[in-house]
Amino acid sequence: MSTKKVTKIGVLTSGGDSPGMNAAIRAVVRTGLYNGLEVFGIVRGYSGMIDDDIIPMNGRSVANIIQRGGTILKTARSQEFMTAEGRAIAYENLQKHGINGLVVIGGDGSFRGAQKFSSEFNIPCIGIPGTIDRDMAGTDSTIGFDTAVNTAVEAIDKIRDTMDAHDRLFIVEVMGRDAGYIALHSGIATGAENILIPETKTDIEELITSLTEKEKRKKLVNLIVVAEGGEFGDANGLAAIVKKRIPTADVRVCILGHIQRGGSPTCHDRLVASHMGYYAVESLLNGRFNVMIGVINNKITYTPLDKAVKERQRIGQEWMRIVKILAS
């Protein structure tokens, strides 16, 4: 806890966009205004902070945005902010506006920037986890994950129709360069026979044996969901291996790509974002600084930023056992 009083806050979105960020911005702005704070939007994340692209916000600024995907404040990745000179310019711009508290909506890279900035200039920062990957320790939910998974499930369900019609093996690639949560959840929800994720080493021989055995018993419709950061690179790389080892298999690849980042956020993501945005401002008002707002077992939690960026949410081996049993 700190006794430093926050009177003017800035809110920014940084890194990859995720559905529900607008709901979080809305909650931060309206909670801040309700409590008598001045609120500023920082456009294009840390790049906007360096370029002084900082605008005052009021209740009308966030009207009719809760249902929109993306982020009205835009987002960017700033190489300049990674330098001491860039951060010094950013601090000068905050001083110009009198901003003495920050709410950063983003992932671990955004939080690393916030942690560094706060330690150098004593600016209180609060992190709100906005990432479709759900790879942040200290929270059961991250803004955008539920929407991204539901988007993937809807797409895979449609792909299954043509799989069934043509007796095909489909390899569907979903997002998740470093984390396999989207692949795991969407794969289980759509009845995938195999799920490949970065956290687990893939036994390619076991995979080929399983597919060969299924082909022998005339189970020709098979679905493999793979995270883009999987051991074999992408879905096309895996498809080439499968086709070489099982020439008779009718293999098709579908890469869902950035469709998973877009679209109107689900009710769950809107609620999580609103909840976190409210408590981010409350945390600043109560002198609880440099923490990430999380939700564990439906209760708000506060994880120090340095811990949040060092640890990752882990996927338990029991999940993979469930996948194997249910696909048998």
Kindly state whether residues 234 and 302 are assigned to the same domain: no
Q: How many CA atoms lie within 13 A of 145 on its CB side?
A: 23
Q: Which residues pair with 318 in a beta bridge?
A: none
pLDDT at 74 over 90: yes
User: Between these two residues, 327 and 65, which has the higher pLDDT value?
Assistant: 65
Residues 222 and 132 in one domain: no
Residue 133 designated active-site = yes
233 pLDDT band (50/70/90 cuts)?
low
Rounded Cα distance between 74 and 72, Å, is 5
Please check whether residues 139 and 283 belong to one and the same domain.
yes
Angstrom distance (rounded) from CA 177 to CA 264: 23
Q: Within this chain, do residues 96 and 110 fall inside the same structural domain, yes or no?
A: yes
Give pLDDT, residue 328: 63
**Of the given ranges (71-80, 92-101, 205-214), which has the lowest mean pLDDT?**
205-214
Per the residue annotation, which of 51, 53, 108, 133 is the catalytic one?
133
SS3 217: coil
- pLDDT for the residue numbered 165: 84
Q: Is residue 323 part of a domain?
A: no
Question: Is residue 111 situated within a structural domain?
Answer: yes
- Flag whether 3 is in a domain: no
DSSP one-letter string for 44-91: THHHHHHTT-EEEE-GGGGTT-TT-SS-TT-----SGGGSHHHHHHHH
Tell me which residue range forms the domain holding 30.
8-143+265-310
Task: Tell me, yes or no, whether 92 lies in a domain.
Answer: yes
Token code pair at residue 98: 């009198």
Confidence grade of residue 198 (pLDDT, cut at 50, 70, 90): confident
Residue 171 lies in a domain: yes
240/289 same-domain check = no
Q: In this structure, are 14 and 27 located in the same domain?
A: yes
**Span 178-206, average pLDDT:** 89
pLDDT digits (tens, 9 = 90+) for 115-138: 999 999 999 999 999 999 998 889
Question: Is 206 contained in some domain?
Answer: yes
Domain count for the chain, please give it: 2
Instruction: Give the pLDDT band of residue 179 (cuts 50, 70, 90).
Output: confident
Identity of the amino acid at 154:
E
Answer yes or no: is pLDDT of 185 > 60: yes
pLDDT attached to residue 213: 81
Question: What span, in angstroms and rounded, lies between the C-alpha atoms of 7 and 100?
Answer: 7
pTM above 0.85, yes or no: yes
Considering the domain boundaries, does residue 102 fall inside one? yes
Torsion sign (Cα): 33, 34, 36, 37: negative
Task: Give the model confidence (pLDDT) of 258-301 as tens digits.
Answer: 999 999 999 999 999 999 999 999 999 999 999 999 999 999 99
Query: Is 128 a member of any domain?
Result: yes
Mark which of 234, 261, 288 sits at the end of a domain. 261
For residues 127 and 205, membership in a common domain is answered with no
CATH number of the domain bearing residue 293: 3.40.50.450
pLDDT at residue number 100: 97
Average pLDDT of the chain, as a whole number:
91
Query: Does residue 205 sit in the same domain as residue 96?
Result: no
Do 188 and 247 share a domain, yes or no? yes
Residues 226 and 276 in one domain: no
pLDDT for position 309: 77
Q: Is the pLDDT of residue 3 over 80?
A: no
Residue 251 has pLDDT above 60, yes or no: yes
Same domain for 117 and 168: no
pLDDT of residue 220: 65
- For 138-151, how does the pLDDT look when each residue is reduced to its tens digit (9 = 90+)? 999 999 999 999 99
Q: What is the CATH number of the domain that holds 150?
A: 3.40.50.460
Say yes or no to pLDDT of 1 above 60.
no
Whether residues 134 and 20 share a domain: the answer is yes
